[in-house]
Amino acid sequence: MDLKKLNYFVALVEEGNFTRAARSLSVTQPALSWNVKYLEDVLSTQLVKRSTNGIEITKAGEMLYNGAKELLQEADELKKSVSKVGLQK
């Protein structure tokens, strides 16, 4: 798993469907779908149930969403902290 794939998954959950999530990320829908499928394969579990109306998050997906959201926020804070230190030279 990498941060990009986790970011894609978080966007999917927050947008509620693949089309809106892909648009918000400025990626194609197949690229988004592939990345989510990759996470499902790596974790050996279904993260979302797909339908024509959007998605329904599974319990495993909910767990990943909560952890990924926290991890992405921490990564962003770390990036900002390191950048500030770099600017102080």
Q: What is the pLDDT of residue 53?
A: 85
Alpha-helix runs per DSSP H in 16-58: 18-25, 29-43
- Hey, what CATH class is 3-87 in? mainly alpha
Q: What is the pLDDT of residue 89?
A: 60
pLDDT tens-place values along the chain, 89 residues long: 899 999 999 999 999 999 999 999 999 999 999 999 999 999 999 999 998 888 999 999 999 999 999 999 999 999 998 988 877 76
Nearest to 69 by CA among 12, 23, 17, 20: 12
Q: What is the pLDDT of residue 12?
A: 98
Residues 6+ apart with CB under 8 A from 17: 53, 54, 55
Domain ranges of the chain: 3-87
Q: Return d(Cα 19, Cα 34) in angstroms, integer.
A: 13
pTM over 0.95: no
